[in-house]
Amino acid sequence: SQKIEQNSEALNIQEGKTATLTCNYTNYSPAYLQWYRQDPGRGPVFLLLIRENEKEKRKERLKVTFDTTLKQSLFHITASQPADSATYLCALDFPYGNNRLAFGKGNQVVVIP
């Protein structure tokens, strides 16, 4: 069955450094992959979508890469700030159709001032 893996350990990073998160998946080739941010007590907020034919996508201080051979996406936050502290979820369109997404467990980032 399809599986999405994100690091369960929180990433503690010094302010100003680049935070890098990994999302690995198995048993499927998604048409696109998405990243969301979730703060405690809130719903996830959509950040970026990258399609299977795109290698890299950027939005402000965020960068996402998508390697369909490795079945992996990397999510980078450059010049990290304490306000970037949150849980980041990756999501894939596993073969369900209907625009349905399957989510990873999320990876917490803590930016230390």
Partner 1 sequence: GAGVSQSPRYKVAKRGQDVALRCDPISGHVSLFWYQQALGQGPEFLTYFQNEAQLDKSGLPSDRFFAERPEGSVSTLKIQRTQQEDSAVYLCASSLPPSTGGFGYTFGSGTRLTVV
Q: Which residues bind partner 1 (CB under 8 A)?
A: 4, 31-32, 34, 36, 41-47, 49, 51, 89, 91, 93, 96, 98-106
Cβ 52 to partner 1, closest distance in Å? 8
Rounded to the nearest 5°, which phi and psi values hold at 83? -65, -15
Closer residue to partner 1 (CB): 13 or 50: 50
Closer residue to partner 1 (CB): 55 or 96: 96
Cβ 38 to partner 1, closest distance in Å? 9
Where is 109: in which H helix or E strand?
A: strand 107-112
- 6 contact partners, CB below 8 Å, separation of at least 6: 21, 22, 23, 24, 89, 90, 104, 105, 106, 107
Cβ 17 to partner 1, closest distance in Å? 26
Closer residue to partner 1 (CB): 36 or 75: 36
- 62 contact partners, CB below 8 Å, separation of at least 6: 35, 47, 48, 75, 76, 77, 78
Closer residue to partner 1 (CB): 52 or 67: 52
